[in-house]
Amino acid sequence: MVPFGGWEMPVYYSSIVAEHHAVRQRVGLFDVSHMGELIVSGPDAEIFLNRVLTNDVSKCAAGRAQYTFLCNEQGGIRDDLVLYWLEPMRFLLLVNASNVEKDFAWLREHASGDVTVENHHGEIATVSLQGPLAAKLVPAPAATLAIFHIAAFDVCSVRCWVARTGYTGEDGFELLCAIGDVMRLWNELLAHGAPLGIQPCGLGARDTLRLEMCYPLHGQDITDATTPLEAGLGRFVAMDKTDFIGRDALVEQKARGLTRKLVPFQMTEKAPPPRSHYPLLAEGRRIGEITSGAPSPSLGIGIGMGYVEMDAAAPGTQIGVDIRGRTFAAVVETKPLWKKNK
């Protein structure tokens, strides 16, 4: 168990690799109750959220979800989150554990009009059921939900918001319920999933699965000091919508051009696993550093992401990773690193 955003979290239940493969091949269950659930409601909620979030809320709809950023005035990423549009005037923001209080304060500070912002962290629990067999473990109507849609269902006799979302690159669902019901939901899902080879999964597998998909982790790959454009996530920023916090800075950055970019890479020779903060090199010169790195269980080789100078950002660029003073060869890749149909 390790401390994570104020919660005690298991890194693994059996082994990171076994849990990782269970999700890619069968189904895994993650307890992600450490994530924060903020609820924004009221007649002006949509207008307000469009002013603080980068993506265009108007292009979402009740019963759907949207990946988006909360940026500061400089365009830096305060947090990344999934916005769930629960009911016409009610939104749930699933935010990172370590940012809950910060996000809650920011939203309250900027709230205007007829809007209520509530922090339900610790009252709502979230479990994530992920893998190609996940749909066999939810009720039939929930199994027909389209990707990035959300609706309420009873799962194992527990009332849940069920969303077809996740952080693994596999099909799957996130189930939100009252914290008092989550033990029952967890145990029942594991019991029903046993014949399918379900595996409870910890933070370790969550990290290797998301890294293979190049999904960023806030605090590592994206921070207050990096923008969505630098992170290669500009498609989640609606420059053409109404004004939003950070827009001016992002418009300016886009016009000026980027000086660095977050790129995925893969080792091309046998090497120790790449890790956060190891220097990235090109022709012997430092061009950036790793923000996330790990041995990829699916690919059987070291992978990672890091910010590099623009000259080295194109896929196919040969780069080096400095690991304890020795340079190992790697290549800049395209996203995602794990390509299912390859």
Partner 1 sequence: MNVPTNLRYAKSHEWVRVEGDTAVVGISDHAQHELSDIVYVEPPNVGDSVETGKECAVIESVKAASDIYTPVSGEVIAANTALANHPELVNQDPYGQGWLFKVKMSDPGEVDELLQPDEYVSHIGE
Instruction: Look at residues 314, 259, 310, 319 and name the one whose alpha carbon lies nearest to residue 290.
Output: 319
Angle at 222 (CA atoms; ends 219, 93), nearest 5 degrees: 80
In the set 36, 204, 246, 288, which binds partner 1 (CB under 8 A)?
A: 204
**Shortest distance (Å) from residue 209 CB to partner 1:** 12
Q: Which of 4, 5, 15, 72 binds partner 1 (CB under 8 A)?
A: 15
Binding partner 1 (rule: CB under 8 A), the pick from 27, 229, 294, 332 is 294
How far is residue 185's CA from residue 165's CA, in Å, rounded to a whole number? 18
Residue 295 lies near partner 1 (rule: CB under 8 A) = yes
Q: How many residues at the interface with partner 1, by CB under 8 A?
A: 14
Is residue 12 within the footprint of partner 1 (CB under 8 A)?
A: yes
**What single DSSP character describes residue 183?**
H
- Residue closer to partner 1 by CB (options 131, 204) is 204
Contact 82, 67 (CB under 8 A): yes
17 belongs to the binding site for partner 1 (CB under 8 A)? yes
- Other CB atoms within a 10 A radius of the CB of residue 178 amount to 14
DSSP letter at 184 equals: H
**Helix intervals (H) in the chain:** 16-25, 45-52, 100-110, 140-143, 182-193, 203-213, 247-256
**Nearest-angstrom CA–CA distance, 230 and 232:** 5
Q: Based on CB atoms, which residue is closest to partner 1, 232 or 272? A: 272
Cβ 272 to partner 1, closest distance in Å?
A: 5
For CA atoms 127, 91, 147, 97, the dihedral sign is negative
Nearer to partner 1, 200 or 295 (CB): 295
Q: Binding of partner 1 at residue 11 (CB under 8 A)?
A: yes
The smaller minimum CB distance to partner 1, of residues 7 and 12, is found at 12
Counting contacts by CB under 8 A, is residue 299 touching partner 1?
A: no
Q: Considering the complex, what minimum distance in angstroms separates the CB of residue 87 from partner 1?
A: 40
Site for partner 1 contains 298 (CB under 8 A) = no
Using CB under 8 A, which of the segments 12-20, 34-42, 97-105, 245-253 binds partner 1? Answer: 12-20
Q: Which amino acid is it at 101? A: E
**Smaller CB distance to partner 1: residue 169 or 297?**
297
Q: What is the closest distance, in whole angstroms, from the C-beta atom of residue 309 to partner 1 in the complex? A: 26
How large is the angle between the packed helices 203-213 and 16-25, nearest 10 degrees?
50
Residue 330, CB half-sphere, CA atoms under 13 Å: how many? 37
131-147 in b/e burial notation, b at 16+ Cβ within 10 A? bbbbbebbeeebbebee
Question: Given candidates 132, 232, 272, 336, which one binds partner 1 under the rule CB under 8 A?
Answer: 272
Stretch that binds partner 1, among 31-39, 50-58, 97-105, 268-276 (CB under 8 A): 268-276
Contacts of 105 (CB under 8 A, 6+ apart): none
Question: Interaction with partner 1 in 302-341: which residues (CB under 8 A)?
Answer: 324
In the block, tokens 């479990």 appear at: 127
Residue with tokens 């020795």: 326
Does position 28 interact with partner 1 (CB under 8 A)? The reply is: no
SS3 at position 153:
strand
The verdict on 182 binding partner 1 (CB under 8 A) reads no
Q: How far is the CB of 207 from partner 1 (least distance, A)?
A: 8
**Of the two residues 28 and 204, which places its CB atom closer to partner 1 in the complex?**
204
Taking CB under 8 A as the criterion, the residue among 273, 299, 309, 336 binding partner 1 is 273
Site for partner 1 in 67-96 (CB under 8 A): none
Write out the residues near partner 1 by the rule CB under 8 A.
11-12, 15-17, 204, 208, 272-273, 275, 294-295, 297, 324
